[in-house]
Amino acid sequence: MTRIEKNQELDPPLKATMPTVQDIKKEENQKPKKGRGKLIGCGLFLAIFLAFILGVSWFLAASGLVTIPVISSWAYKTPAPLHEVKPGVVLEAYVSDNFNSLLTQRLQAGGGELKDRSVSLKLPENSLTASFQETLTSSNLSFFDAMHSQVAIDKDQGIELFIPLAGQTNGNAVRFLLQLTTNNGGLSIVSVKSSVGNLNMPVWFSDAVVKPLLERGLIMVNQKLSQYLSIESLEFNDSEIILLGTITVEVIKIN
């Protein structure tokens, strides 16, 4: 057995293999830090995951399409229209009656000739509502409550399409808010805001999905109106739109 004297130094090879006190302390200090780092990472991941789940839950609850205990009571509020509108005469019949009356007056004033072709036509929201309900009913869109849908007009906010969802016990509805302008003698959509329940849909969704669909419906309106007038400008009043333009009806004078 090798004997080591009290004051004798360790051989270099043996000394090199023995850890110093500093090395031991350094190693002991590093272990808790690595463990603490993993714990913080797991905690951060869990927090992000929970935030994601909460965000999705809030999104679904606000839409009213899904009822989530506790969250729905905070996130969802039954949607309501700008104001209630009762359906009146359908738009086509309303416009036809008004133009027949207008043409009769103009022809009498012009001695059988239509000398004044300027026109100001009011479109009341109750006629728009009647035509809107008729369109939804004929489209067989069973997920919409066509008979309680409506069109409301507000001077400042524009045109609102309010469509309750069928079979919903929470009074849920889809809501579109439109701003219109004139284009090539007809009407054109400038912007659309859309919402489901208490959830406002993002602008990109309204522009990419909702706006093209509503523009298709507006084509039918323009086709009907073009039989009577070419629209040059429009004004909004509460409960009505005023179309200003030129009469396109051709009147043949019979001697």
Sign for the pseudo-dihedral over CA of 32, 38, 44, 47: negative
Q: Domain check: are 239 and 137 in the same one? A: yes
Number of neighbouring beta carbons within 10 Å of residue 106: 18
Quickly list DSSP for 102-160.
HHHHHHHHTTTS----EEEEEEEHHHHHHHHHHHHHHTT-TTB-GGG-EEEEETTTEEE
Query: What domain count does the chain have?
Result: 2
Cα–Cα distances in angstroms (integers) from residue 132 to residues 31, 90, 126, 161, in the given order: 71, 9, 10, 9
In a domain, 30, yes or no: yes
Q: Domain check: are 152 and 216 in the same one? A: yes
In a domain, 255, yes or no: no
Q: Domain check: are 219 and 165 in the same one? A: yes
- Give the pLDDT score at 71: 86
- Give the pLDDT score at 49: 77
In a domain, 154, yes or no: yes
Per-residue pLDDT of the chain (255 residues; tens, 9 = 90+): 555 555 555 455 545 555 555 555 555 555 555 566 677 778 787 778 788 888 888 888 899 988 888 888 899 999 999 999 999 999 999 999 999 999 999 999 888 888 899 999 999 999 999 999 999 999 888 899 999 999 999 999 999 999 999 988 899 999 999 999 999 999 999 999 999 999 999 999 999 999 999 999 899 899 999 999 999 999 999 999 999 999 998 876 655
Terminal alpha carbon distance of the chain: 144
Query: Which one-letter amino acid corresponds to residue 119?
Result: V
In a domain, 143, yes or no: yes
111: left (phi over 0), alpha (psi -120 to 50) or beta: left
Q: Domain check: are 58 and 178 in the same one? A: no
In a domain, 29, yes or no: yes
- State the residue range of the domain holding 196: 91-247
d(CA 6, CA 102): 126
Q: Domain check: are 156 and 233 in the same one? A: yes
In a domain, 83, yes or no: no
Q: Domain check: are 176 and 55 in the same one? A: no
